[in-house]
Chains A and B, each alone.
Chain A
Amino acid sequence: MASVSIRGIRKSFGSTTVLHGVDVEIADGEFCVLVGPSGCGKSTLLRMIAGLEAIGAGEIAIGGQVVNKVPPKQRDIAMVFQNYALYPHMTVRDNMAFSLKLAGAPKAAMDERVGRAADILGLDALLDRYPRQLSGGQRQRVAMGRAIVRDPQVFLFDEPLSNLDAKLRVNMRAEIKGLHQRLGTTTVYVTHDQIEAMTMADRIVVMQAGRVEQIGTPLELYDRPANRFVAGFIGSPAMNFIDGEVVENGFRDQGGAVWPLPPGAEPGRPAIYGVRPEHLRLAEGGLPMTVQVLEPTGSETQVLGHVGGSPLLGAFRERIAVAPGEAIGIGADAHLAHLFDRDTGQRLLT
């Protein structure tokens, strides 16, 4: 096991710069998730840690040793690819044993390690099959098995669940998390799914367009997003943003409705007010929200509508029976409100 330090990493493909200076410190044994929209450079960063992509500038250290010039096979890392990259001409057993075989492990050690990995992952019955005879979820497990038999310093995962159906994804999410708790190996996990990031990570690195937007635990990101991008990216359904300005007793949107704000913001300042759908509550005589669409999911009711001119989504525990076009009264809480600079998008309240 080892820590991973990423310092000032830049990368360009030809004239397009993909990473503009990324710094991340990943502690020994940590489960770190890189998350961000498609094309933001997550895979590129992961591949640089693996050594599959040359490092443009900056340095990467694994276990304190700078590995910029170390070839992938000497970095002692294992990677699970998005397409699994199982060797199609080898059985599950041979796939998992391949790295051991190359390292010259004795037959007994190979059998024992593969056996144990198969045990952990529930692959015992599939050891003599070829990859093409497996389902997507089983392939995913073999890919993980191939990684864990090596007992590497660091695990790298590149969107390992994106080819699975929703239900299996939830199961595998828990399995990977459980595996990490058992093995305690430092893990860097790439995904563009913020729910995956929230549920699995010890710490999340939110990236956008080749930059790190914020690094923090899932709840830190949820409670105190550093900017408007993170606020909109973390949390589902996404946060509502309302344009307006700070006034004496709160925040006034462009339709004139006044939203509660904790003290600290200077009045008169134009800003963006952020409130999560699940933090809105029904309030008799509150702000009038005109309902457009109701979406009952059973556990909650999502209401799409607008207050003043601003579109708004609310998620309420209560069951609501109103017709589209009618209004309901809603309220927000000052301590759950977020405020962002209109131009830079930076968080304004501390």
Chain B
Amino acid sequence: MSNAVREGVLPIAEAHPWRFTTREPTPLARLFDNKTFLVVMCLTPAVGLLVVFLTYPLGLGLWLAFTDAKIGRSGVFVGLDNFDSLFHDRIFWLSVTNTLFYTAAATVGKFGLGLWLALLLNHNIPFKSLIRAIVLIPWIVPTVLSAIAFWWIYDPQFSIISYLLKAMGIIDYNIDFLGTPWHARLALVAANIWRGIPFVAISLLAGLQTISPSLYEAAMLDGASSWARFRYVTLPMLMPVLSVVLTFSVLFTFTDFQLVYAITRGGPANATHLMATLAFQRGIPGGQLGEGAAIAMAMIPFLVAATLFSYFGLARRRWQQGEADE
């Protein structure tokens, strides 16, 4: 029986003369209820921005790639000439392999360490929020600033790494980090990993936090070791987030420019040029706008392939989408 009756309380409606009324919607409210108006209204700014800041530069780049434009002179259409000469250009191919190596090595490193950090931060560890804040630092520092820091870290004379290794008696000479091709490549990969970890770690941490703790408890009772819990619960549940983060990370790394250009400028002797830095090098300081644009365009197939792979290969999960996918 209701409490109100039991305790002799008056019904709510008798408490005060105020009443609910349905108000007529204002003309403005009615306008915003109109779906067509709303769609146009909401899409116009977005589409406008896309056209101005994305489609136009992309279209211009595409056009330039088929011309022999130089700085100060608008070029004429030359068909596939730019691509043809790139095809026979050893430095271009070196930049392609460099980019692939750089992307692969840095991605593996970022995901290995980022996932490890995320798993760590997902546990109850002391000073959790402090550590979380620290993890974000590499991402907050402007790239160029961190590149300068790395420049010093990798300096042939004043490198702190060489200094420490010497102090510990492991080596007795300074390592020339940026002077030899493989040292330079690995040094850049390390810098990129350092810079990319926060994004991976924080995104994966967000993904980890959506996994219900009771799943781990159930797995524990089902007899799963901590490795089995990771393998059969964490990893598959994290896959949707992981694949999105992976796609973004691959795209960002593949198109990386700032870090490499600020640390090595593509040197020594073009050994560390990525496609992006080579495109810039040829196009702006070198003045060959057409050729630079062609190099930039050559990146597109790789990017599309990476996106499609992650979209079809990783992101679609039957257990998330249910019958619609069968």
What is A's interface to B at a CB cutoff of 8 Å? 50-52, 71-73, 77-79, 81, 83, 85-90, 98-99, 102-103, 130-133, 146, 150, 292-293, 295, 302, 304, 311
Contact = CB atoms under 8 A, between A and B. Distances in A.
Main secondary structure of the interface of A (DSSP, over half): mixed
B1 interface: yes
B171 to A, nearest CB: 46
Give the interface size bracket for B toward A: 20 to 34
B317 A73 contact: no
A311 B223 CA distance: 54
Contacts of A133: 322-323
A52 B215 CA distance: 12
B2 to A, nearest CB: 9
Contacts of B6: 304, 311
A126 to B, nearest CB: 13
30 contacts: A50-B221, A51-B220, A51-B221, A52-B220, A52-B221, A72-B220, A72-B221, A73-B221, A73-B222, A73-B225, A77-B221, A78-B221, A79-B217, A81-B214, A85-B215, A85-B218, A87-B215, A88-B319, A89-B317, A98-B222, A98-B232, A102-B222, A130-B319, A130-B322, A132-B320, A133-B323, A146-B218, A146-B222, A292-B5, A304-B5
Contacts of A302: 1
Contacts of B222: 73, 98-99, 102, 146, 150
A102 B224 CA distance: 6
Given A85-B215, A85-B217, A73 B322 contact: no
B319 A90 contact: yes
A51 B220 CA distance: 9
Contacts of A51: 220-221
Contacts of B232: 87, 98, 102
Contacts of B214: 81, 83, 85
A328 to B, nearest CB: 17
A304 B1 CA distance: 8
B215 A102 contact: no
B112 to A, nearest CB: 23
A132 B223 contact: no
A130 B236 CA distance: 14
A132 B212 contact: no
Interface of B: 1, 5-6, 212, 214-215, 217-225, 228, 232-233, 236-237, 317-320, 322-323
A27 B322 CA distance: 44
A293 B5 contact: yes
A88 B220 contact: no
A89 B320 CA distance: 8
A332 B233 CA distance: 60
| Highest count of chain B CB atoms <10 Å: which of A90, A102, A132 | A102
Contacts of A132: 319-320, 322
A236 to B, nearest CB: 13
A73 B319 contact: no
Nearest to A53: B217
B217 A81 contact: yes
B241 to A, nearest CB: 13
A52 B319 contact: no
Nearest to A47: B217
Given A52-B221, A85-B217, A89-B317, 16 more contacts: A52-B220, A79-B217, A79-B221, A85-B214, A85-B215, A98-B232, A102-B224, A102-B232, A103-B223, A130-B318, A131-B319, A133-B322, A292-B5, A295-B1, A302-B1, A304-B1
Closest 4 A/B residue pairs (Cβ):
A99-B222, A85-B214, A85-B218, A73-B223
A302 B6 CA distance: 14
Contacts of B233: 87
Contacts of B318: 130
B5 A89 contact: no
A102 B228 contact: yes
Nearest to A77: B221
Contacts of A72: 217, 220-221
Contacts of B319: 88-90, 130-132
